[in-house]
Structure 1
């Protein structure tokens, strides 16, 4: 029967139709797949390759070491040492998984979990960027332990960076300054200059003033990383460039000796070369160890610093105070130049000076008797200068004071310097809306009243007096050098002008100051040396007005007088000047002059001073 049935063609057979339809569908799907592959590989291939590349490659910033700071003999004042910082990535170390990582890390570093987590949370608040520093300057053994277990510590990174180091610690704090980690506020302003999160920046002193010179140029490292961000290999590297270094005019030994001489006191010492105005030392006490600003203070340590009655964060060498009797040299200069006095003219001092109904007392209650110019400087007679001040008037005193550099910054390239204040009639009218009184002139004539000067200003003034009238701008950078020691820039003295005084006037002032140290009744005899002739002037500045005479040492510390002494040596050919300021130190002759004497003895004889 089958043989007699007609055979159907494939087109008519349902089975073959189903197979054909299936192949068409498969072919269509395959065509769609080919189109998709073509689009991904040819049209968008480069785009997706870049995404894959970015996910496996990472650019790491290599910190650049800051340039070094040296003294005039090449002694290191600020340098760098290798340091390891523990960073935590806040995007990874978070939530329950982050706590697990912190617990593992706490076990490795030998710290309890709550303390470590608290440190981490504090760091996250302080540094609002992706990777926050939790531990700084960790030792190599700890680094090795963390690196060995890094696979189990996602989000943990050890950063190698140059750490600033200050060999003399607190002794150079106010002059050299310090660096600390950049803040979020700073970063907003400085990002355009290439600063990044976790960078260090100069905060005060030389470090801040020469930030752009000292900071180096960062390097870059292109690395391949795995899915957890761990480095697999280095692809390319651009090495960082160390910053340029500074050679200063100061002497590290002078800085140390000056600071040690102020031990237990609050004050400042400025030492200069009168032949060209260069700084040999500038120190303020007490100080703070600048290395602690890198390591970090505990809350207890920081409270101790900010609550210290001696104010260790303030640089007293550039702050303003009443100069006391040191200012009498300026008053005498004005008197001689204006011919209001002659060197031989005498004034009788009964222990006070009468101005109308007011009595202005001399520091020596029983008086000095008859005194001329030189004797008045030797014994620091207030009565003599009260009379001279009245005859000169405030406008004349103010004019000479400003010409000598008072009431304005010295020009030293140093941050934070105060201008001081030279008061006059216009100033009082503007500030107090009141007329000037004659009694105020008498106070200014002896360095009191509204008059304010800085130790650095007094140093600049004394340089101009003992060097024949030349006014030098104080300076302290001798050279800028590259990392190989090649000199890039050399600095020279800058003459700003001359004192409005004849050489004869300056010679008389120097002679008076020599008597103030070596005379029979000298107030500064504590600075006298055996083989070197020293000239100087004491100053005792009242902090508060007293109706009755009270010994300074019997008053509460903050109400005691400030002590001053400025000196130069050798008298016939000065090569050094020194200004000593002791805050609430009492009398200049008994508190500041001995310090100057010990420093000068060390300078000329090389013997370590007895503290």
Structure 2
């Protein structure tokens, strides 16, 4: 190899001489002596310095020359080798999820994915040829009641039509329009938009015979350039075999080892596990900044999304055949007891199915079971709609009365000795209010045990300074202040406030307008503001926990991955119980209301006595019935209906479990909420005495088929 020297020695010497000359001419404070002949000369020390610099320059020149001439070929070959290294990143499996007893509830299964790497240099015709070849090699799965046409959006069809009909697409735009677009410097975009707007439905319907090819082509062009994009996950063995044999003729196509998420109990716990999918485009920059690749899959909802950072695995790499192993993501230990979850889910299904025809619309029923002292959620069932537990809100009826009584006692609107005559109440501009029956004289205890609407109404009126029967008018200032007071205390229980559950989103319910004084009375007995089943669960847990409101949790721990999936890894993070607030209410009043709630299920006149009579554990509870107007699906007509609710906890002396049940949209009043609550508590204590593992869902299906 011929390589010129970087430095020329003669130039260095010349440079040295010029420095001497410059110093001589400028005389920058340097002492210069004279020879006998009268000529000036440079001092000896400066000559020595220049000589040392000259030697250093000479060594540097020699070293650079040696590197370029002697070792140049070696370095050049190493550079070429390093630049030709091929490095690929291998997706690592996500972390697993376990229930509170160490049973795997979310697993990973090895799967093969078909990918396509789109390149700008590839022509449209080449992509179409690849799509045509893949039509015969893979199948496209559709969901129940979904067609292949449903999987393809209109823009994909339009783009495909333009790609396969270039001349016809060109004729959709006139020469004048093209010229105008060029003048506006928006040639391509403007012409493209004109073409899209002028493709007829008839032209798109001509693609019906090749929808599979349209879908595959659409997937191929959906990814980013030079980045593998998944066209299909979970290839069958036969599909993978056929594609592998043809990879040489399918440039850009590859088969990737992947991990398919397995939700082992998605029938019993269908939604809160969440889902994974492609990075949403609006969040792409955020994920790229965190080191994600454009084609990575991420958690897109609920626990998968909430704990994405922990569940994400560490990728491995393959460099010229050498593999660096990745690592599975961290594992989550949920608070859910999956065996209890399955049993409670079965209980809800049985009770709802036994009431066929009792629901105004599709049947809904919810129950949340929680440990009141930690906030850990043991079971969360939503019949046909688990997400409604945190997103749907309902009027909860008399279940709010314990909070109303405590609010009244704390604000001195009533005292422990206050007695009210329970009889129908008629007020100006307000519909008549009554209890289930005329109860006669009731105090706070009777009002909870027997569920008096009249007592609660008097709490509200006293708080607003209104005395019925005297001709007194409501004061706008005082009744609105009473609304604020009620909602202040209710929020301390978790009613109308965020519960803080470890999910990306939750509803806080609906707060009604305060434009009529009479609505204050309906608020006091649970027929005005609406709350979610999760809020109701936090509320009863706060009462059971002596006034301490705990943050509800679905995840107890984060564990390091263990290669043996049947054994939990070391604890990485443990979530301690979190107190959100302590009720701003006298502890004596909390004790009094707890005692009244015990009477609800233990006193013969209690509203839940018949359902809990004979229970082997001591419980406390409160029933709730709300009269509501329900919009009927289909017709849109509003129909008078009933919401049933029930809250409970046990054992009474040392609560370890609470249950909040909501059954909305019934035609008429029913005991269903109380029955579900009693059976759910039975299941909890039975499993405590006789622990069981959850039943795999495939076994449940087999048992159902054989009638076992």
Query: TM (normalized to structure 2)?
Result: 0.66
What pairs up with 1:164-243 in 2 under 5 angstroms? 164-223=261-320, 234=321, 236-243=322-329
Aligned to 1:248: 334
RMSD, aligned CA:
3.5
Residue correspondence of structure 1 range 528-567 to structure 2 within 5 A: 528=612, 530=614, 531-544=616-629, 560-567=641-648
Q: Superposition pairs for residues 204-603 of structure 1, below 5 Å?
A: 204-223=301-320, 234=321, 236-263=322-349, 265-287=363-385, 314-350=387-423, 352-356=424-428, 358-364=430-436, 367-393=438-464, 394=482, 395-420=484-509, 436-449=515-528, 451-484=529-562, 485-525=569-609, 527-528=611-612, 530=614, 531-544=616-629, 560-585=641-666, 590-603=671-684
Q: Is the 8 A contact 1:568 1:576 kept in 2?
A: yes
**Superposed displacement of residue 105, structure 1:** 3.2
Distance in 2 between residues matched to 1:283 and 1:64, nearest whole Å: 32
Moved more, 214-223 or 253-262: 253-262
> Residues 8-40 of structure 1: CA distance to partner in whole angstroms, max 9, x if unpaired?
xxxxxxxxxxxxxxxxxxxxxxxxxxxxxxx9x
1:75 to 82, 103, 113: 103
| Aligned residue number for residue 141 of structure 1 | 238
* Paired residues of 1:534 and 1:567 also in contact (CA < 8 A): yes
Confirm or deny: 8 A CA contact 2:368 2:537 kept in the other structure: yes
How far, CA to CA, are the matches of 2:670 and 2:287 in structure 1?
49
Residue 237 of structure 1: how far off its partner (Å) = 2.7
Classify 1:142/1:116 alpha carbon distance in 2 versus 1 (closer, same or farther; 3 Å).
same
CA gap 1:486/1:270 in 2 versus in 1, 3 angstroms: same
Unaligned runs of 5+ in 1: 1-38, 224-233, 288-311, 429-434, 547-554
- How far did 1:603 drift? 1.1
| SS, match of residue 628 in structure 2 | coil
How far the C-alpha of 1:602 sits from its partner, in A, is 1.0
Look up the match of 2:89.
61
Q: For residues 121 and 106 of structure 1, do their structure 2 counterparts lie closer, same or farther at Cα, with a shift above 3 Å needed?
A: closer
Kindly indicate whether residue 190 of structure 2 is the aligned counterpart of residue 106 of structure 1: no
Deviation at 1:556, TM superposition (A): 7.0
User: Residues 463-518 of structure 1: CA distance to partner in whole angstroms, max 9, x if unpaired?
Assistant: 22122222322234322211131112222212334222333322221222223233
**Pairwise CA distance, 1:559:** 5.7
Q: Distance in 2 between matches of 1:441 and 1:198?
A: 54
User: CA separation in 1, counterparts of 2:536 and 2:435?
Assistant: 22
Report the 3-state secondary structure (helix = DSSP H, G, I; strand = E; otherwise coil) of the residue aligned with 1:355.
coil
Asked if the contact 2:630/2:640 (under 8 Å) is kept, the reply is: no
Q: For residues 140 and 52 of structure 1, do their structure 2 counterparts lie closer, same or farther at Cα, with a shift above 3 Å needed?
A: same
Q: Which runs of 5+ in 2 are unaligned?
A: 1-67, 141-207, 353-362, 465-481, 563-568, 693-703
- CA shift, 1:401, in A, is 1.9
* Shift in CA distance, 125/148, structure 1 to aligned 2, threshold 3 Å: closer
Cα deviation code 1:130-165 (max 9, x no counterpart): 433222111223212221232233222111111211
Q: Aligned equivalents of 1:139 and 1:279: distance in 2? A: 38
CA distance in 2, matches of 1:95, 1:466: 67
Question: CA–CA distance in 2 between the matches of 1:541 and 1:238?
Answer: 62
1:34-93 deviation digits (Å, cap 9, x = unpaired): xxxxx9x99999889867875x54321210111111111111122211111111233387
**SS state at 1:523 partner:** coil
For the 8 Å contact 1:249–1:278, the answer to whether it is kept is yes
- Give the C-alpha shift of residue 118 in structure 1: 1.9
Q: Residues 565 and 579 of structure 1 are in contact (CA less than 8 Å); yes or no, is this contact kept in structure 2?
A: yes
Give 2:149's aligned residue. none
2:161 equivalent to 1:90: no
**Change in 2 beyond 3 A, CA 1:442/1:84:** same
Q: Deviations over 1:554-607 (max 9, x none)?
A: x97976333211111122322110111223246675232111111111112249
CA distance in 1, matches of 2:220, 2:372: 52
Name the CA shift for 1:170/1:415 in 2 (closer, same or farther; >3 Å): farther
1:241 and 1:561 mapped to 2: Cα distance? 53
1:545 positional shift = 9.0
Aligned residue for 1:501, secondary structure, equals coil
Q: Measured at CA, do residues 149 and 382 of structure 1 come closer, stay the same or move farther in structure 2, by a change above 3 Å? A: same
Q: For the Cα contact (< 8 Å) 1:561–1:584, is it kept in 2?
A: yes
Secondary structure of 2:432's counterpart equals strand
Q: Equivalents in 2 of 1:491, 1:397: separation in Å? A: 32
Matched residue SS, 2:531: coil
**Within 5 A, what are the aligned runs for 1:122-161?**
122-124=218-220, 126-128=222-224, 130-161=227-258
Compared CA separation, residues 167 and 132, structure 1 to 2 (3 A):
same
Summarize the Cα distance change of 1:115–1:84 in structure 2 as closer, same or farther, 3 Å threshold: farther
What is the SS of the residue equivalent to 1:134? strand
- CA deviation after TM superposition for structure 1 residue 373, in Å: 2.2
Q: Deviations over 1:182-232 (max 9, x none)?
A: 233332331111222332211222211111111112222224xxxxxxxxx
- Cα distance in 2 for partners of 1:332, 1:587 equals 27
State how far apart, in whole Å, the 2-side matches of 1:588 and 1:462 are: 22
- Does the CA-based 8 Å contact 1:282-1:317 persist in structure 2? no
Normalising by structure 1, we get a TM-score of 0.75
CA distance in 2, matches of 1:124, 1:415: 32
* Pairwise CA distance, 1:128: 4.8
